[in-house]
Structure 1
Amino acid sequence: MTDYDLVVRSRRAVTPEGERPVAVAVRGERVEALYGYADPLDAAEDIDLRDLPLLPGLVDTHVHVNEPGRTHWEGFASATRAAAAGGVTTIVDMPLNSVPPTVSVEALEVKLRAARGQCHVDVGFWGGAVPGNLKELRPLHERGVRGFKCFLSPSGVEEFPPLGTAELRAVLAEVAGFDGLVVVHAEDPELLAEPGGPTYREFLESRPGAAERSAVARVVALAAETGARVHILHVSSAECLGVLEAAQADGVAVTAETCPHYLTLEAEQVPEGGTAYKCCPPIRSRANRELLWEGLAKGVLSCVVSDHSPSPADLKVPDFAAAWGGVASLQLGLSAVWTEAARRGHGLADVVRWMSANPAAMARIPGKGAIRPGYDADLVAFDPDADNPVDAARLHHRNPVTPYHGRVLKGVVLTTWLRGRPVDGEPHGRLILGEQ
């Protein structure tokens, strides 16, 4: 009998103690122990990565899978294949744009039936908070959703309407009663407008940074009033950082995320007609992007997740006023963020904190986010120096639409292990509900 099922060795394993030489010993689905890199161990399989880094699997808590109902946009099989190819071993699915949206236990059960047997990585679920479903929140929490997504402005789909201020206050008070989490798309509808024309400049002007800052200030004030835990989704405007930093210093239970496209792309480089870049809130200026990096380095922004929101190519036309808003990047987030992080002097341990440990902690997903004894053996062999030219047609996303097409990113995922098994085409992902 061998002692371990799998040993993976790396001189550059990223652990909670930092980057160091380690032999990761796996028994069954979990990390059993960490040893010295060269320690002799008895294992059924012993893999030596030498100087290639070994990362914990990434945790992407902001993914629109869209199945059922809009499976021609994306689905569990295609989304989770893309995730694994990008080093992501856990995703959390948003309650829209699927039909029905996940706003009741019955709707969640429909989604669970659609997901079972298709997932190449582990999948958790957000519930939705919409007008009229306040009584559904506790049952959804008890069924095992990670928290509740809401909008303060129109979501883009009629079946998931936004909350007004009084409705948001009621949701926060209800969710605070069972120590749940509310995650918020924070844009103030009073400060948004229809684009004045078809260009990117006109679209950007229609969704100013002030709309984000105003909405974040409202959420923070209501969180302080109700004692609720809140998380601000996809911060694109640096105008939000001061509000968030002050609230965090005052002890308000608020965290915030940004996304790879806000950290890597810039409004000045959006090409004419390049509607693959359209998302809400929008990609802003180069100067704004640098301030987001500063907020991330300071910890005001703690998570970097994809907001993978794909659609068929025929919804990305004819112009920025009419096209569907959403960036498809689930497979590319690690390489995109690493490309820009390395240029700014950040290391792989920083990227792992932003893209694995912190999202897992925010969504309270047990056993994820670190190479640590007792945790799931979710591991990623990553070559940080390899060029990664992006061809949209070769991605695993269902539709070949991404603003990264034609770019050469840095860093390639070589192997992804989910709970000790390589992700190799046979789906063995689990559905994560509650504390399991």
Structure 2
Amino acid sequence: MATDLMDRLKILADGAKYDVSCSSSGSSRSNSNGIGSAASCGICHSWTSDGRCVSLLKILMTNRCIYDCAYCVNRRSNDVQRVALSPAEVAELTIGFYRRNYIEGLFLSTGVVRSADYTMELLIQAVRTLREQYRFNGYIHLKLVPGADPLLVQQAGLWADRVSVNLELPTRESLQLLAPDKTRDSVVEPMRQVSNLITTNRAERKQSRKVARFAPAGQSTQLIVGATGESDRQIVTLSEQLYQRLDLKRVYYSAFIPAVADSRLPARPEAPLKREHRLYQADWLLRYYGFSAHELLDEGSPNLDSELDPKTGWALRHIELFPVEINRASYEELLRVPGVGVLSAQRIVRARRQGHLGLDDLFRLGVVMKRARYFITARGRSLEAAALDSSSLRSRLIDRTMSRKPQQLSLDFSNPVDDETRSLITGEL
């Protein structure tokens, strides 16, 4: 491999690190090779829904860009070394790493050169070369260029497993302020088109399995948190709308990092990473726990509690609903108990068919009793002698959280981890 190519690869891999919407689950394309191992130059780890570690080559095709977005390190006015890979080089690099068992797939994004259509054509050429010339059947996540022709968007979904367009900023006003070269419509329209094409494709494949699959792993997007002044309520409400109206697989949240200096950007060094973490927890509640945005946040409480997870915060605001009797509560009610996740709620429902459960049984079923103990009873018994008001309970829960020793979180689900660690990793609350 030529030194020049390696140098370009390092630059383009580094430029892609700010895009956190790098995912690799949901596709049914077969892959007979092993998982592979980590390597440098942009190969990143992603985790599927069943806990497998998948390695992806994560790169930009080019860091040249005609846009001047205030938050972007690759913006037109930033003084950085500009490099590019040709579609043939992208395909050759990907298949070369794959044959060495370094990767299983490709995450390909880019800056915008000349025009949206021209750039989209280059991306499609790269993935088409991989599929047709190299017969690569691995995972491909392809970024769509806002403003590209609908026919190009359709082609992209036929070659890639997952496609995505980053909203970046939650409101039109924020986009106009920090990314004046883009419009909200140019970003949302391809997302809407992809959603319609996926729905149509599913219906066609029910009639004939010979119909080519369109973006079988769906679409995702990314929101930057902290570059502008939107509240958590605005962000969570927007995410809920995206899930409901466009059937997105994931919304990713990226704490704003001041990679470039600009008077339009906030003076603080960066948005708290804890805020990003709380938004992911709230997102998990939207997708898997049956919560709605207006339940988690309202006009009186527009931002998530930085000291407590969103489900515990909701429970404290609705303390009149607790304690819940574990042997009589519905599955939906169990999901709203702090410390009871999706898996533990399912286990409780199954186990109590064999007989009434006691408090000791809940430890075995994976309930995080450090939180749940204040919100449940079993056979009428509680671990707490007396009921606490919301204020006292909040103080006690915060004290327990602060006293917990930091631990290294392992993302390798092949090794057993305790339920509390797993709840932090997967978002079970």
* Larger proportion of strand: 1
Class of the TM-score when normalised by the shorter of the 2 chains: 0.3 to 0.5
Which structure's residues are more often helix, by fraction?
Answer: 2
Looking at CA atoms only, which structure, 1 or 2, has the larger radius of gyration?
Answer: 2
Using the size of structure 2 for normalisation, the TM-score is: 0.37
Compute the TM-score of the two structures, normalised by the length of structure 1: 0.36
